[in-house]
Amino acid sequence: MSDSLYAQWLALACGAFLLAGVLVLWRRDLAAIVRLFALQGVALGAMVVVLGLRQGSVHLVAVAVGVGALRAGLLPYLMRRALDTPRPGGETAGDEARETRPLVNVATSLLAAAVLALVAYAVSQPIVRLSPDPATRAVPVALTVLLVGFFVLVTRRRALSQVVGFLLIDNAITATAFLTTSGVPLVVELGVSLDVLLAVLVLQVLTARMRAAFGGTDLDELRELHD
């Protein structure tokens, strides 16, 4: 793969990766948020494929396929299952399918994303100067998604939204690892992926139990039960 083609395809994959993360702040429909997370999983897999083709590494391409299958296929499927879990009376989630009361509105959230992008760019400059190749120059993208994930965790109230925030952070950490080290050992990626999968499975069970016991998954309403 030529240098120009490598830079173009890597920039395209990183752009899609960043766009999917930022659009999570724009959408309130939980099903759409899950689809955006799946799109980001595809972009992450494509990013690793480009790195693997650049290095001529079949091992890295195989890891990319596994990463894409987990983060664009299995994890979104499990989250959709959690979203479609029936209520105690046999009804589906319905009104709970939207993030109705985020702490920060959409316009302010997008403005915050722009500020977080500037912060990520400033913080990552020492890393970029160490090795100013296309992969390292994309590190600010991964750090921006990392900060966006934390922002989602802080400002969203639905349990599923907060899980997506956690998974955005995990995607960003994975992207940073691949961009800065040109790949991680397969056993490390497998271990991290299994941990993430276990966390989502636990979330699915807890979400079903919360909906069955309390009729909803709004974390603010659950705190009021304590009062």
Q: Per-residue DSSP letters for 70-115?
A: IIIIIHHHHHHHHHTPPPTTS---GGGGB----SS-HHHHHHHHHH
Average pLDDT score over residue span 166-173: 89
Among 31-35, 52-56, 116-120, the least confident range: 52-56
The reported pLDDT for the residue numbered 16 is 96
Among 54-63, 82-91, 93-102, 137-146, the least confident range: 82-91
Q: Which is more confidently placed, 121 or 133?
A: 121
Contact 119, 80 (CB under 8 A): no
Give the angle 36-40-45 at the CA atoms, nearest 5°: 150
At position 52, the amino acid (one-letter code) is: G
Give the angle 110-113-115 at the CA atoms, nearest 5°: 115
**What is the DSSP code (8-state) at residue 158?**
B
Say how far apart CA 193 and CA 87 lie, in whole Å.
30
218 by DSSP, 3-state: which? Answer: strand
> In the predicted model, is pLDDT for residue 191 greater than 60?
no
Of all residues in the chain, what percent carry a pLDDT higher than 90? 31
Q: Per-residue confidence at 150, pLDDT binned at 50, 70, 90?
A: very high
Dihedrals phi, psi of 114, to nearest 5 degrees: -65, -40
Question: Half-sphere exposure (CA, 13 Å, Cβ side) for 197?
Answer: 15
Say how far apart CA 93 and CA 224 lie, in whole Å.
21
The reported pLDDT for the residue numbered 21 is 93
Average pLDDT score over residue span 155-160: 82
Average pLDDT score over residue span 76-90: 69
Q: Which is more confidently placed, 108 or 221?
A: 108
The reported pLDDT for the residue numbered 8 is 92
Q: Which is more confidently placed, 95 or 199?
A: 199
The reported pLDDT for the residue numbered 43 is 95
